[in-house]
Amino acid sequence: MFKGSNVALISPFKNNALDEENYIKLINFHIENGTNGLVPAGTTGESPTLSHDEHKKVIEICIKESGGKIPVIAGTGSNSTEEAVALTKHAEKAGADGVLVVTPYYNKPTQEGLYQHYKTINDNTALPIIIYNIPSRCVIDMSVDTMARLFELKNIAGVKDATGDLNRLDQTISKLGNEFIQLTGEDGLAFEFNKRGGVGIISVTANIAPKLCSDMQRLSISKNKDDIKKAEIIDRNLQPLHKALFIESNPAPVKYAAKILGLCNDEIRLPLVNVKKETEQEINKALSFAKLTN
């Protein structure tokens, strides 16, 4: 169900409130440009600074506006198991197709703690659960063995792997097989990830280059050599943009790029701040290189 280019949706703000008008436009922008799935209320959607009401609204609007055209994987993770369960139950009631659940940050649970956290969420929903493993932000790394234990549960469906380690992909396929959905969280590795057996991405870059990202995903899994070459060219043209969007903390750079492309403004919530002028220049160069601007 979950494959190809899934966008980690930004949450546009206006005067420190959710900019619903531009948020709805963004959702339709993705549907029109071939995005394969929508991921609202994740880290790129500034979930740490959304109120509970805003978090729920972001998910509800996304589900309603997409109208079943493409899957919605709602971000429902928390470092509180009770809160993650509550957010997951809400997403299920709202009509989400799946949930993305980040490993508990700050608490630093053991592998057994990670297992029990996800098992508790699993036991309280019927939705497919995608584990979000991002050690750079959460300071913990879920082992392949723990994922294998979790995959025995009925609702654990796959992983968004943001370890940046392609060997982890190989190890996971070897241990869990191809039924376990493997999506990368690293835009710069998307092409190589698919070549080695992955099935897609949850992407930041797709916010501003949905067609290029969806085309690259589609072509990269083709058995036609010409298609693979086309995918490689798209990937090469996007690499400077992938890098530029992470010069400063996500999602400040991608919000600036979205402003340049007229998608929404670049308002962001503290403790994140707007990007520096030097970063703006690098993003502008990358947008031009990818032919997204003149």
Q: Point out the residues that are catalytic.
A: 132, 160
The CA dihedral of 272, 273, 274, 280, to the nearest 10 degrees, is -80
Distances in Å between the alpha carbon of 99 and those of 63, 85, 87, 235, 255?
12, 11, 9, 27, 24
DSSP run (H or E) holding 271? none
Rounded Cα distance, 208 and 250, in Å: 14
**DSSP SS3 for 98:** strand
Contact predicate 88/76, CB 8 Å: yes
Contact predicate 49/73, CB 8 Å: no
For residue 21, the cross-strand partners are none
